[in-house]
Amino acid sequence: MTILHNRVSQAELKKRLYEENEFRITISFYQYFFIEQPALFRDELYKGLYNLKGFGRIYVASEGINAQISVPESQYENFKLFLDGYEHLKGIRLNIAVDNDGKSFWVLKIKCREKIVADGITDPDFNMINKGKYVNAEEFNKLSTDPDTVIVDMRNHYEYEVGHFENAIEVPSDTFREQLPMAAEMLQEKKDKNIIMYCTGGIRCEKASAYMLHRGFKNVFHLEGGIINYANKVKEEKLSNKFHGKNFVFDDRLGERITEEIIAKCHQCNEPADDHTNCKNEGCHLLFIQCKKCAEKFEGCCSQACKDIIQLPEEDQKIIRKGIDKGRMVFNKSKQRLRPRLNED
């Protein structure tokens, strides 16, 4: 009988991952399609991927699937065959990680959600059928040189900060649901221009392109497979690379390097840096950029206060963090959020 939920501690699972001898391939994919019984579909997926020794994070909803996973190299072909068993996933584009050490995930988590991308859209007339036109890497490069083209980054501020396309507009927000109406308002006076939207793997910009068309925009495009697919195609087809810096990813790597350029700065000392980390104080766990010198100075913490806390016995730390609501603990430079805390000595 296949277990449908993990029952092993996170620490033990991570230990097992680092003891594995076989290399793992990190993959992301998504598809918008109607799923009548998401919970049943979720359980089928779990059984199949569990048997393939797959790890990762997958969201399933009536509107489709959003997946980031890793599988042992020897299981990759079997994994593709497994997906091909589903009509709407047959031959699906798989984004292979650009900068992959095989240690992206150590547990399989598949959850049912109301939507695979939380968008805040409540208009019953909105649907994903009418969406923007795909552009591949070569088409993106060509269209991006047109003065009548606007490139829009549909990722969060902390993703944009470490890497983005040339001349891309940032929509400074904490969430995708905030971004959609904000992007439409920002671009109102550019309705007659070509609008190219992009994101990490394609799922957000595809929905964003449909939303922009719904809001009355006409010439809307979205980058096929997002930054990940673009970076791979640029290498394969020897194209000019219009992306600069690092691509933030939502797994244990927290980023994959596309170019050697470092375009961001440490949030503590302001020196060039683009490595994201989570504050080691479990009562904080702030996501921020930290250089190696500051990581050593603050022992992986965002402030001296948090550094002092992690020196305390674990029982004392538990008392301090009891009842704390961390909320969305992400450093937002565009809003100067939490900057006083990060500048503490």
User: Would you say domain 10-112 falls under CATH 3.30.70.100?
Assistant: yes
- pLDDT at position 333 is 44
pLDDT at 343 over 50: no
**E strand residue ranges, 16-124:** 24-32, 55-61, 64-72, 95-96, 108-112
- What confidence tens digit (pLDDT) does each residue in 133-168 have? 999 999 999 999 999 999 999 999 999 999 999 999
Task: List the beta strands (DSSP E) in 159-316.
Answer: 163-165, 169-170, 194-198, 220-223, 243-247, 256-257, 276-278, 287-289
Every domain of the chain and the residues it spans? 10-112, 133-233, 276-342
Q: Cα(31)–Cα(67) distance, rounded to whole angstroms?
A: 9
The reported pLDDT for the residue numbered 59 is 97
Annotated catalytic residues are: 199
- Model pLDDT for residues 295-321, shown as the tens digit of each residue: 999 999 999 999 999 999 988 888 888
Residue 75: CB partners within 8 Å, gap ≥ 6?
52, 53, 54
State the CB neighbour count (10 A cutoff) for residue 48.
Answer: 17
Grouping H, G, I as helix, E, B as strand and the rest as coil, residue 320 is helix
End-to-end CA distance of the chain: 55
- Three-state SS for 55? strand
* 10-112 matches 133-233 in fold: no
**Burial class of residue 125 in the structure, from the number of CB atoms within 10 Å of its CB (0-12 exposed, 13-18 middle, 19+ buried):** exposed
> Strand (E) positions, 98-193?
108-112, 133-135, 149-153, 163-165, 169-170
- 193, pLDDT greater than 90: yes
243 beta partners: 165
- The answer, yes or no, to whether residue 292 has pLDDT greater than 80, is yes
pLDDT digit string (tens) for 77-110?
A: 999 999 999 999 999 999 999 877 778 898 999 9
Q: What is the mean pLDDT of residues 107-128?
A: 92
pLDDT at position 151 is: 97
Q: Look over the chain and give the mean of its residue pLDDT values, rounded to a whole number.
A: 89
Question: Global pTM?
Answer: 0.84
Tell me the CATH architecture of domain 133-233.
Answer: 3-Layer(aba) Sandwich (3.40)
